[in-house]
Amino acid sequence: MKLHAVDAAIVFAYFAGILALGLRVSRRNRDTDRYFLGGRDFPGWAIGISFIGAMISSVTFIALPADSFKTAWLRFLPNLAFPFVTLLALLVFIPFFRRGTVTSAYQYLALRFGPSISAYGATLFLVAQIVRTASIAYLVAVLMSAMTGLAIPWCILVSGGITAAYTIKGGFAAVVWTDVIQTVILVAGALVILLLIARGVPGGLGAIVGEAWAAGKFSLRDLNPATGLLEPGGAGFSLTEKTAAMLVLVGFMQYLANTLNQETVQRWCSARSAREARKSMLILGAGCLPVWGVFMFIGTALWVYYRHFPDPVAAEVLAGGQKAEMILPHFIITAMPAGLVGLVIAAALAAAMSTLSGAINSASMVLVRDLYKAWLVKDRPEPHYLRAGRLASFAVSALMIAGAYLFHVSDAKTLTDLQIIVTAIIGGGVSGMFLLGMLTRRGDARAVLAGIVATLLFSFYALLMQAGLLPRAFDPYYTSILGNIVMLAAGYAAARLLPPRPRDLANLTVWDQSKDPMI
């Protein structure tokens, strides 16, 4: 597709505006506290909108409409757990990171369990961030290429390079304020898509809802690949199949892990007060579900649209001949007028760039404060660590772009296997480590080490099971849930068996919180 001049101008203006905003706020970066936390003076509404932008990645922009177009709303269920995680953050987690001087999730692990456990968690976080950002950068490049005609490597360089430029130069302030703008563009793009679909379908939104409801497209059914039909799934708890209750539990563990990582903690610590930090979570909790719902509804609406206007690509997607992720880009390319295509491309780019910028900055903060400063170079002037922060951001960005290019040239199966390995190892124990520290007074580095060993053994078993070398005892979808249970159980058991070591737990467990007001 050759991009219309109007659309090209809109995309160019988007890139230029975001880059200019990021560079403008960079003038205030004089130390690492300003570079990584923006001076800790952000209002809650800005942090909350930034949270939403970071949560709504290009995966959401493409994957949710694809899933609801081809199936129904079963996979929306994990999102229903998000308000409960938000409530848990308000009541339990924010106090841990708004008292004292903790500014990093892994600084908490250092205080609670020691520097070795902190380094382990920080290293896993860095690996996960690089793989995650590379996959998102690749996905948005594929989308950008399909809608502009540019080669994928050029799209990786343009979108990834501009994101890296304003993030490296502007620091966390650039992340937050560009996130605010990008989230507005993202939501506007989604609403434009939905309104255009509704205008095209005879009867509008009412007809879309009625036809989709009659066909079971709002149900909690799943697609049977053998029959091509939507079939009802189970409702209770099971480790061998995807049921409604288990999907909600998967969502809970997924969002719990996201809440206890550095990107979230960094935003809490950047708020000007504990009250503003809590306000940001209320905005996030209230905003994410409707946005996710809009993207799911876009997929359902597209299913109705292509019933009225049959299309060979849509038919191939439903028949399994093409990937479902192609359906929204196809609609944008073929059914949207000039001008609006540029807005939607900007929205898709915003979905990715808001996620990537936060991931780059948080990863560089962990690299500098939790690894470089804590282990390698401990006593240097502040300008040294500021330069190290910018160099770390550059290094993470370069690895992101290189990883995205490897995704482009590598075999798809290899990429899937890599993501499974990373998810199994990283997602299957870090949350359990935090919960062991926060919810119990027992355990030190020795107990956590026992939990890490048990979790790695479990993850290795899960990978062999996934490869078909061992009998399947559970659905791989539940690896992260079981991995965190293994971590928590093994760590607690080891803590009960090992002789305790006296230590100060003030403000490090839910049982030892001081009465001092949060800052």
pLDDT at 1: 56
pLDDT at 88: 92
pLDDT at 57: 73
Q: Which of 100-109, 121-130, 299-308 has the highest mean pLDDT?
A: 299-308
Q: Residue 159 pLDDT > 50, yes or no? A: yes
Q: How confident is the model at residue 419 (pLDDT cuts 50, 70, 90)?
A: low
pLDDT at 414: 40
With beta carbons less than 8 A apart as the criterion, state whether 6 and 342 touch.
yes
Q: Residue 417 pLDDT > 70, yes or no? A: no
Provide the residue type at 352 as one letter: A
pLDDT at 492: 96
Average pLDDT over every residue of 195-219: 95
CA angle (106, 108, 114) in 5-degree steps: 85
Domain limits, the chain? 5-409, 410-513
Could you report the per-residue pLDDT of 440-492, keeping only the tens digit for each? 998 899 999 999 999 989 988 888 887 788 888 888 778 888 888 999 999 99
pTM more than 0.85: yes
Contacts with 12 (C-beta within 8 Å, 6 or more apart), sequence order: none
With beta carbons less than 8 A apart as the criterion, state whether 518 and 475 touch.
no
Q: Residue 403 pLDDT > 80, yes or no? A: yes
Could you report the per-residue pLDDT of 115-133, keeping only the tens digit for each? 999 999 999 889 888 888 8
Q: Which residues does residue 232 pair with via DSSP β-bridges, in sequence order? A: 221
Stronger pLDDT, 187 or 135, i.e. the higher one: 187
Q: Residue 206 pLDDT > 60, yes or no? A: yes
Distances (CA, A) of 255 to 86, 135, 251, 295: 9, 19, 6, 19
Please give the Cα distance from 77 to 57 (Å, whole number). Answer: 18
Strands (E), 225-291: 229-232
Q: Lowest mean pLDDT: which of 71-80, 92-101, 478-487?
A: 92-101
Token pair for 138? 């690749």
DSSP, res 202: T
Please give the Cα distance from 151 to 290 (Å, whole number). Answer: 34
Average pLDDT over every residue of 90-104: 80
pLDDT at 450: 96
Distances (CA, A) of 456 to 473, 488, 489: 17, 13, 14
Could you tell me what percent of the chain has a pLDDT over 70? Answer: 94
pLDDT at 428: 59
What phi and psi, each to the nearest 5 degrees, are found at residue 326? -80, -15
pLDDT at 198: 96
Q: Match 């191939």 to its residue by tokens.
A: 316
With beta carbons less than 8 A apart as the criterion, state whether 345 and 174 touch.
no
Neighbours of 442 (CB within 10 A): 17
Stronger pLDDT, 305 or 53, i.e. the higher one: 305
Would you give the distance in Å from CA 209 to the centre of its chain? 30
pLDDT at 100: 61
Average pLDDT over every residue of 357-366: 94
Q: How confident is the model at residue 315 (pLDDT cuts 50, 70, 90)?
A: very high
pLDDT at 102: 73
Provide the residue type at 178 as one letter: T
Average pLDDT over every residue of 512-516: 78
Please give the Cα distance from 234 to 245 (Å, whole number). Answer: 8
Q: How confident is the model at residue 415 (pLDDT cuts 50, 70, 90)?
A: very low
Residue-averaged pLDDT of the chain: 87
With beta carbons less than 8 A apart as the criterion, state whether 272 and 41 touch.
yes
pLDDT at 230: 74
Please give the Cα distance from 282 to 286 (Å, whole number). Answer: 6
Stronger pLDDT, 165 or 23, i.e. the higher one: 165
Average pLDDT over every residue of 42-51: 95
222 three-class SS = strand
Which H, E and C letters describe 90-106, residue by residue? HHHHHHHHHCCCCCCHH
pLDDT at 412: 45
pLDDT at 418: 52
Q: Which of 15-24, 98-107, 272-281, 335-344 has the highest mean pLDDT?
A: 272-281
What phi and psi, each to the nearest 5 degrees, are found at residue 224? -90, 110
CATH number of the structural domain 5-409: 1.20.1730.10
Please give the Cα distance from 334 to 315 (Å, whole number). Answer: 15
Contacts with 25 (C-beta within 8 Å, 6 or more apart), sequence order: 170, 171, 173, 174, 177
